C-alpha cells in the first residue's frame, strides 16, 4: 500500500465488493468494518483534506453505512441475549423479530441504497487532489485521535452509558488509525495496538449489554426480567472495571509523545 489515500480507496472497494456479493451477516460486517476504516483514514488525512472536505466525505461515508449499523446492532442484541443465562422468552422473540425486520429492509432496498451511497462517496473522495504532506497529516491526525480518546476516557470514568459509548468509538478510531500507519508506513506500535484492540472489544461488549438492557426495560416487568437485568448489570460492572484497567495503560502517555514516537519510527523507515 503506497499511501493512506490508496488504503482508503481499497477499503471503499472492499465494502462495495462485499455488498455486491451478498447481504448476509458476514458481508454486512465486512462492509461496515471497511467503512469504519475509511473514516479512520479520513481522520489521518484531515490536515490534507481541510475541514470542509473532511466533513463532506466523512458525512457521506457515515450516512452510507448507517443501515449496516442498524442491522449489526439488531444482530448483536440477539447474540448478547443468547450469551446470558436469565433469558425472558418474550424479549428473545422481540429481538429476533426486530433483527428479521432489519434484514428484510436491507435486502429489499437498503443494500442497493448503501451501494449507491458508497459509490458516490468513493467518487467524491477519488476526485480530490490532495496536497503533499500525507505523513505530517497522519501524525497530526493520530495525535488528535489519541487526545480525544484520553478526554473520552476521563469522561467515561463516571460509568454513564453515553460517555462509555463515546470512549468506545474513540478507541476504535485509534486502533484503526494505528493499523493504517502500519499498513502504509510499516510502523509497528504493537503495545498500543494490542491495548486499543482489547479495550475496544471490552467496551463493545459493555455497549451491547447497555443496548440490551434498554430493550429489556421496554418489556413488561416480571421476575424473569428482573433477574435478566441483574445479570446484565453484573456483567457490565465486570467489563467496565476491565476497561478502566486497560484504559489506564493505553492512555498514560501524552498525545505529543505518542506522535513523536511514531514520527521517529516513520523516519527510520524512510
Q: How far apart are CA 79 and CA 73, in angstroms?
A: 10
Q: How far apart are CA 175 and CA 181, in angstroms?
A: 10
Which tens digit of pLDDT belongs to each residue from 69-110? 888 888 888 888 888 876 777 788 888 888 888 777 777 767
Is the pTM higher than 0.75? yes
What DSSP designation does 107 have? I
User: What domain count does the chain have?
Assistant: 1
Which tens digit of pLDDT belongs to each residue from 170-204? 999 999 999 999 999 999 899 999 999 999 999 99
Q: Residue 177 maps to which CATH number?
A: 1.40.20.10
Domain that holds residue 88: 4-269
* Unique residue bearing C-alpha cell 455488498: 19
86, 231 contact by CB (below 8 A): yes
Q: How far apart are CA 214 and CA 84, in angstroms?
A: 15
164, 206 contact by CB (below 8 A): yes
CA end-to-end span of the chain, whole Å?
A: 15
Question: If you compute the radius of gyration of the chain from its CA atoms, what whole number of angstroms results?
Answer: 20
How many residues are recorded in the chain? 270
| Residue % of the chain over a pLDDT of 70 | 96
125 or 87: which carries more pLDDT confidence? Answer: 125
Mapped onto helix, strand or coil, the DSSP state of residue 133 is coil
Amino acid at each position: 500500500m503506497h499511501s493512506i489515500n490508496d488504503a482508503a480507496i481499497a477499503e471503499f472497494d472492499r465494502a462495495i465488493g462485499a455488498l455486491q456479493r451478498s447481504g448476509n451477516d458476514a458481508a454486512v460486517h465486512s462492509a461496515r468494518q471497511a467503512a469504519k476504516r475509511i473514516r479512520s483514514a479520513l481522520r489521518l488525512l484531515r490536515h490534507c483534506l481541510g475541514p470542509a472536505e473532511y466533513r463532506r466525505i466523512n458525512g457521506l461515508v457515515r450516512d452510507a453505512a448507517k443501515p449496516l449499523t442498524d442491522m449489526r446492532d439488531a444482530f448483536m442484541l440477539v447474540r448478547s441475549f443468547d450469551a446470558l443465562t436469565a433469558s425472558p422468552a418474550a424479549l428473545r422473540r422481540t429481538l429476533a423479530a426486530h433483527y428479521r425486520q432489519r434484514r428484510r429492509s436491507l435486502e429489499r432496498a437498503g443494500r442497493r441504497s448503501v451501494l449507491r451511497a458508497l459509490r458516490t462517496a468513493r467518487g467524491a473522495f477519488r476526485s480530490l487532489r490532495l496536497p503533499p504532506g500525507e505523513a505530517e497529516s497522519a501524525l497530526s491526525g493520530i495525535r488528535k485521535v489519541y487526545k480525544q480518546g484520553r478526554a473520552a476516557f476521563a469522561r467515561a470514568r463516571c460509568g454513564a452509558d453515553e460517555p462509555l459509548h463515546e470512549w468506545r468509538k474513540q478507541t476504535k478510531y485509534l486502533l484503526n488509525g494505528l493499523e493504517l500507519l502500519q499498513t502504509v508506513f510499516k510502523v509497528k506500535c504493537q503495545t498500543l495496538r494490542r491495548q486499543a484492540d482489547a479495550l475496544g472489544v471490552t467496551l463493545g461488549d459493555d455497549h451491547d449489554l447497555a443496548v440490551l438492557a434498554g430493550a429489556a426495560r421496554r418489556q413488561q416487568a416480571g421476575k424473569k426480567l428482573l433477574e435478566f437485568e441483574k445479570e446484565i448489570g453484573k456483567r457490565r460492572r465486570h467489563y467496565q472495571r476491565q476497561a478502566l484497567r486497560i484504559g489506564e495503560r493505553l492512555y498514560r502517555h501524552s498525545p505529543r509523545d505518542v506522535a513523536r514516537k511514531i514520527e521517529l519510527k516513520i523516519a527510520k523507515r524512510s
